Amino acid sequence: MKAPQSLQKTLGVGLTAGVTLLWMLALLGALYVSQNKLNELFDSTLAETAHRIMPLAVVEIINRENLDQPQQIMSFEAHDKQFIYLVRDALGRILLQSHNADPSIFNQTLVKGFSSSKTHRFYRTSAIQNTLHIEVAQPLIDRREAITQMAITLLWPLILIIPLCFIGSLAFVRYSFRYVIAYRDEVESRGSSDLSPVKMDGLPTEIITIAESVNNLLDRLRRALDSERSFTANSAHELRTPIATALAQIQRLQQKVSAGPIKDSMVKIETTIRGLSGLSEKLMQLAKAEGGGLLSTERHDLISLLSMIVDDTRRSNPGKIITLAIPQNEAFMSVIDPDAFAILIRNLLDNAIKHGISNQPVEISFSSKGVLSIANAASVIPVETLTQLRQRFVRSNLSVQGMGLGLAIADAIVTGVGATMTFSSPAAGRVDGFEVEVDFSMILK
Ligand SMILES: Nc1ncnc2c1ncn2[C@@H]1O[C@H](COP(=O)(O)OP(=O)(O)OP(=O)(O)O)[C@@H](O)[C@H]1O
Ligand SMILES: [Mg+2]
């Protein structure tokens, strides 16, 4: 697939290239017209010079005693002569020439009017019934220099204009795109759980239809997700009472039956009902984790919440060693909803107790920077499995009961509040074990 291109850059470069091209075309046109006008001007000066010199030359030649001797007009002061001339008779004999004239550069045959050689432009006119001919020459280099000077003068501004035009078009395009950029930033900065309509203020007509379609899509997605969540939550809630009733009845029945195959079957039924009860509880948690309301308006101290949950877990798991390392006399205030935080911690602790080696401790720590770590001894989980554990119903330890929902719930909460969760196996500083780290430092305190 072609790599995406920046529209701003493409427009900036395109506009600059367009302006430069137009400028060059205008420059070439101006040079073409100027060259023609300059040639006309130079030609008329050349002809004028010939017509001015001719009468003087005629007088000079007529007054001369020895006509066979060519005469060279001396220059009064050394200067770079633009014009040189030759006065010849009808046979081509040179009668008069300017002091710096080289006869070899002139036309050898008589050409009336204007003519050009590789190096000079000539004008020839005649007098006294075509017996005297004057040919004035001007070096073409003078004309070329003039036109080159003009081209350079017109090109200079272009060197300044190209970068200015590029910066100017980029700034203008950026200014015109300000609402599109604001729209992009808003879409980019949203968390995955925010499905509210994106603001469309000031968007240009070309984009507004896309933005409207995106908002319609978000709306449909939100309604679909809401109905899925409410279905999960409602079903789990509706299941609670019948499951609790069935559990109570089976426990009562067990007391009435003495040991034997019927009692064994009843114990199995009780285990299944307990599993069902756990499933409905996890489904309720998942519905909460994936719904909104994971952030509260008030701030709560995560360290004291964590200590309370750990104490509670210690009480319900008397034989288990659970260590807790927290910064002393410090609080970590956060806007995360206390219920959501409790569900997250309980799921992670439940995993550490359930999947960890039973006689080994569970080590919990919470740093003053807001990083929670829960580590336990366990056999190493391969990396391929580790990356999939946060998906629903994915499990790697099948020796204990579970649905594979705990880490999916934890992941939904962590993502929903804007924190990050990483798993490592083996745990840091060990050869085996499992460690989960949740970084709360990014959440607005
Ligand atoms: N602390 C841990 N130590 C070792 N393995 C773990 C730990 N936590 C999770 N795992 C592995 O990740 C898998 C997925 O965990 P998850 O919490 O999603 O499901 P579960 O604990 O098996 O079931 P549930 O939480 O729904 O009762 C577990 O089956 C287990 O293999
Ligand atoms: Mg679990």
Residue positions counted in the chain: 445
The answer to whether residue 2 is domain-embedded is no
Arithmetic mean of pLDDT over the chain: 87
Q: Are 101 and 249 part of one and the same domain?
A: no
**Span 137-158, pLDDT tens digits:** 988 888 889 889 988 888 888 8
The pLDDT value given to residue 444: 59
Which 3 state secondary structure label does DSSP give 423?
Answer: strand
Whole-number Å distance, alpha carbon 272 to ligand 1 midpoint, is 19
Q: Is the pLDDT of residue 248 over 50?
A: yes
- 248's CB contacts (< 8 A; 6+ apart) are none
Tell me which ligand sits closest to the C-alpha of residue 350: 2
Protein residue with least CA distance to atom 27, ligand 1: 402
pTM of the model: 0.59
Whole-number Å distance, alpha carbon 432 to ligand 1 midpoint, is 16
Q: Is the pLDDT of residue 366 over 60?
A: yes
Protein residue with least CA distance to atom 13, ligand 1: 395
Give 193's pLDDT tier (boundaries 50, 70, 90): low
Q: Are 371 and 262 part of one and the same domain?
A: no
Which 3 state secondary structure label does DSSP give 271?
Answer: helix
The pLDDT value given to residue 377: 94
Q: Are 22 and 117 part of one and the same domain?
A: yes
Per-residue pLDDT, averaged over 364-393, amounts to 93
Q: Is the pLDDT of residue 109 over 90?
A: no
Residue at a domain's end among 124, 145, 164: 164
Tell me which ligand sits closest to the C-alpha of residue 436: 1
Most confident of 130-134, 269-273, 395-399: 269-273
Q: Are 12 and 154 part of one and the same domain?
A: yes
Protein residue with least CA distance to atom 1, ligand 1: 352
Protein residue with least CA distance to atom 4, ligand 1: 355
The pLDDT value given to residue 78: 47
Q: Are 367 and 442 part of one and the same domain?
A: yes
The answer to whether residue 170 is domain-embedded is no
Q: Are 12 and 149 part of one and the same domain?
A: yes
Domain extent for 124: 7-164
Whole-number Å distance, alpha carbon 424 to ligand 1 midpoint, is 13
Per-residue pLDDT, averaged over 268-285, amounts to 90
- 32's CB contacts (< 8 A; 6+ apart) are none
CATH number for position 380 = 3.30.565.10
**Span 404-428, pLDDT tens digits:** 999 999 999 999 888 999 999 999 8
| Nearest-atom index, ligand 1, CA of 394 | 14
Q: Is the pLDDT of residue 79 over 60?
A: no
The pLDDT value given to residue 74: 55
Whole-number Å distance, alpha carbon 405 to ligand 2 midpoint, is 6
Give the pairing type, strands 434-439 and 420-424: antiparallel
Residue pair 265/252 in contact by the 8 Å Cβ criterion: no
Tell me which ligand sits closest to the C-alpha of residue 378: 1
CA distance 367 to 235: 39
Strand partners, 121: 116, 138
Element (H, E) at 73: strand 71-73
| Nearest-atom index, ligand 1, CA of 356 | 3
Question: How distant, in Å, are the alpha carbons of 155, 285, 294 from that of 410?
Answer: 67, 9, 12
Q: Which residues does ligand 1 sit against, CB inside 6 Å?
A: 282, 351-352, 354-356, 376, 378, 389, 395-397, 402-408, 434
Give 159's pLDDT tier (boundaries 50, 70, 90): confident
Of the candidates 313, 247, 243, 248, the residue with the CA atom closest to the CA atom of residue 279: 243
Tell me which ligand sits closest to the C-alpha of residue 426: 1
Q: Is the pLDDT of residue 76 over 60?
A: no
Q: Is the pLDDT of residue 80 over 60?
A: no
Protein residue with least CA distance to atom 29, ligand 1: 395
Residue pair 434/381 in contact by the 8 Å Cβ criterion: yes
Give 291's pLDDT tier (boundaries 50, 70, 90): confident
Whole-number Å distance, alpha carbon 227 to ligand 2 midpoint, is 26
Question: How distant, in Å, are the alpha carbons of 6, 203, 204, 215 from that of 209?
Answer: 21, 10, 9, 10
The pLDDT value given to residue 178: 92
| Percentage of the chain exceeding pLDDT 90 | 40
Q: Are 278 and 319 part of one and the same domain?
A: no
Protein residue with least CA distance to atom 17, ligand 1: 406
Per-residue pLDDT, averaged over 392-414, amounts to 91
Pocket test for ligand 1, best of 350, 407, 422 (most atoms within 8 A of CB): 407
**Span 294-303, pLDDT tens digits:** 888 889 999 9
The pLDDT value given to residue 68: 61
Number of domains in the chain: 3
Pocket test for ligand 1, best of 276, 344, 389, 400 (most atoms within 8 A of CB): 389
Per-residue pLDDT, averaged over 194-205, amounts to 87
Of the candidates 195, 403, 198, the residue with the CA atom closest to the CA atom of residue 291: 195
Q: Are 77 and 130 part of one and the same domain?
A: yes
The pLDDT value given to residue 94: 84
